[in-house]
Amino acid sequence: MAGTRDGAVARALAVFDGGGFRETLAELVAIPSTSQEEAHRPDLDRYLGALQRWLERLGFAVTIHPNPLPGLGPILVGLRHEGEGLPTVITYGHGDTVRGLAEQWRDGLEPWRLVERDSRWYGRGTADNKGQHALNLAALEAVLAERGGRLGFNLKVVIETAEERGSQGLRAFVEANRARLAADVLIGSDGPRVMPDVPTICTGTRGTFHFDLAVRLRSGGVHSGHWGGLTRDPAIILAHALAAIMDRNGRILVPGWTPAGGMPPSVKAALAGCPLGGGGEAATIDPGWGEPGLTPAEKVYGWNSFIVLALLSGKPDGPVNAVAPDAWAHCQIRYTVDTDPAAFEPALRRHLDAHGFTEVRIERPGVRMPASRTDPDHPWVRFVSGSIARTLGCPPQVIPNSSGGLPGDVFVDHLGVPLVWIPHSYTGCKQHGPDEHVIPATLREGLALMAGLWWDLGEGTTPR
């Protein structure tokens, strides 16, 4: 008897409800594959080895390649070719995580052990990104079983282990393997939904531009009693410079740092009525913060933001009675494709000089991760949206780019593929911090919609 779409979805849900997916995720979380600590470099190989065995059971030809850049983690490629003329999909994930930060987790929780508490699954990588690409593979396995060992399309899997170090080496690898990785579309999962219970499609990501601001006035501190009120305080100068960059309510003041033509109509249309929330107890949406006249969704998905990531002057761990010699801030711009990052540094220099801050230096400016975007109305986006709606009975929320960063630009630039990201997490998951977790109900829904999507890709109705 031929398999059915409903049968594939039911198989996937049965694996989840029977505890099979939780067991698989627990095994993956237990591998401490952080790329941010050299001692765990062998664990990156262990993690890809575990995925290699899984993919080979699913009929993939798997190879693991050294990173083109020395000192960085390897890259796995899995290929499953079912025939010429069939649609070819490439999917992406990353097996590396940030540091475990074990000492910061709540009692009873730890980074490298999956723990269930308060209807959540805790563990490093549960959200970013082990849980997400493992879910997609589990859904794929259900479709293969239901279709008798066939997918009906070609699939290429790329799993890197240096994403938490800026995906260094991935661009060079994809460029060198352009023909081998050629595909019609990228469908991957990372990042958060707009809300935990709202299925979401992201068609790109904001980029990140980093720089330091520094005020260096003298070789050492001077006595605050003898010199206070006479000599310039670098912390005060830097504070005023930062206030010239962004006002009291979070509006960017530097000309050239926001989209010159405003928000594109297609972006604004995609975000009309878009909900936003589920950040948990760690964050709030402050109505008066950010660009005036924009909705919360437009601010985070369709606009640029400026953030001070670190700020230092003097000796915070042991203040002394001295006027500090210098002050420093590490800053970041999260930007969309509607602004040119090459203009950020010169625009800031002009702005600071015009406001009398010629002594404020701009150091180490540059893009860490470029922005990317596929048109929200692209045929592939519509296809995936329709598939999700068919499974869940309601359409997903489409957003033009997620709020965070991913290396989608690499695949756009070298493979020319449209981007369709389907996140299975939420903004309150505490990724990159202690107590990282996922919501099982969100994962279960994600498993169902991915099984439906993998099935639909093999039905001969994909965009051409």
**How many whole angstroms separate alpha carbon 314 and alpha carbon 421?**
44
The backbone region for 266, taken as left when phi is positive above 0, alpha when psi lies in -120 to 50, beta otherwise, is alpha
pLDDT at position 280 is: 63
Q: Is the pLDDT of residue 66 over 60?
A: yes
**How many whole angstroms separate alpha carbon 296 and alpha carbon 271?**
10
pLDDT at position 2 is: 77
**How many whole angstroms separate alpha carbon 455 and alpha carbon 114?**
30
pLDDT at position 463 is: 96
Q: What is the pLDDT of residues 308-340, one digit of tens each?
A: 999 999 999 999 999 999 999 999 999 999 999
Report the percentage of the chain scoring pLDDT > 70.
99
**How many whole angstroms separate alpha carbon 421 and alpha carbon 424?**
10
pLDDT at position 401 is: 86
Q: Is the pLDDT of residue 1 over 60?
A: no
**How many whole angstroms separate alpha carbon 187 and alpha carbon 90?**
6
Report the percentage of the chain scoring pLDDT > 90.
94
Q: Give per-residue burial for 59-72: e unless 16+ CB within 10 Å, then b.
A: bbebebeebbeeeb
Of 412, 408, 441, the residue nearest 424 (C-alpha) = 441
Rounded mean pLDDT of 256-276? Answer: 92
Rounded mean pLDDT of 432-452? Answer: 97
Nearest-10 Cα torsion for 65, 70, 73, 76: -10
Q: Report residue 279's pLDDT band, with 50, 70 and 90 as the boundaries.
A: low
Q: How far is CA 36 from the centre of its chain?
A: 16
Q: Report residue 404's pLDDT band, with 50, 70 and 90 as the boundaries.
A: confident
Report yes or no: 400 and 203 within 8 Å, Cβ to Cβ: yes
**How many whole angstroms separate alpha carbon 403 and alpha carbon 304?**
10
Q: Report residue 229's pLDDT band, with 50, 70 and 90 as the boundaries.
A: very high
Q: Is the pLDDT of residue 102 over 60?
A: yes
3-state secondary structure of 214: strand
pTM of the predicted model as reported, rounded to 2 decimal places: 0.90
Q: What is the pLDDT of residues 280-314, one digit of tens each?
A: 655 788 989 999 999 999 999 999 999 999 999 99
Residue recorded with tokens 């074990």: 102
- What mean pLDDT value characterizes the chain? 96
